Structure 1
């Protein structure tokens, strides 16, 4: 597989946090630092919150003002990475989109209740989901989004930049003929193939388990490895999506996911169930 696909959103957040710490370490307030950097306190605040890009020249001035010492090289490289446009921008997606976050993640954990996770979908299954939307979209936009989904999946087989995916899927999802019986069968066959990848752990939550901690909706947890960025929870719902960063919410998501893993079938038994359902079609 090719080299790592670049993303900007998480790098920008990491840069922001480190710049804020350097300013605070220099005992400067925003109002004190801004004039010395020939900028406004509001702009500096947006940069320190990851809401606005910081060009390399401004970062150099900040490092000089804050007497950054031996972190110059590391910080400038981080600033250059954060300034690069993410690969997904070419497909109409912004840095604060879910794809922007996932691009920098090293692990994604997902509990799927309504449909097969996007990282494991075949194109016809994705196409059927998009076509079911009540808001009509041009065909070229739908196909673009499907292409993005297929690009995201490449990391599951990447040697240079692997993405580890832990998925729990409701049994009902596997029985719902999204796109028709032929499409569902192809989707189930793909799940069996994907489940053999070293980067994928797939479990099925069988019907009949009764009440469990996440009946209301599915959710995801993104982890960013040695980037040092805290985990993030992400919830998709019928009217949109929300990402959660505060530790109590992320901790609750982790606890729910671990409980769901104990209720779900183990990966070998999950593959057996998927095979049985596919054979019934």
Structure 2
């Protein structure tokens, strides 16, 4: 692998679709699990957008996110009801038609064979895909996810999304996975701002995030150091610990 290949950062955008998310009726749980899964694949989640069930908004978001990233994932809007319009919107964004995927139809026929109502017209909507798409296996409910090139359409239900991600594991090209270490410290982050800035500046391959908290009547912060370079990450951790110790601050490797 050349230096250019190994240093490349692969990115993904995530589009969360659904009025229920924006109204607060449903709390999204997919962002965290998609981000964690992507990190293991060597892909960074670079941007997340949440849009309503409006075709024009979905089309605009799809085109913006796929233009800026290597991959685009969507969650929500691929079910059997009239407001599940993700397939139509993505097809419009891609400039292709919508068709019934024969393998998806066969999967749904088997899944609903012994269920009341069988494969109804509403349920058959879950076999609709943008033309040229492949299927993402769904071991939970029969209805598959959809892949069209670098665009991945997944369910809004978190445990179903998790299964689809599992089916995709190892199939996407990515870079070196992003590693992280956490150091916790009972101090206000403003008191160590200079230490954090100087430590990060001395380790160009690392990024340091500061996440303050208030517990047990005390102010503290967790410092998360991230890097694709294991040696640089270790060096940065030691430098930060030394600096915090020199400043007379109590810190806890692994976070508080």
TM-score range, shorter chain: under 0.3
- Higher relative contact order (Cα pairs below 8 Å, separated by 6+ residues): 1
Higher relative strand content: 2
Q: What is the TM-score normalised by the length of structure 2?
A: 0.27
Q: What is the TM-score normalised by the length of structure 1?
A: 0.25
Higher relative helix content: 1
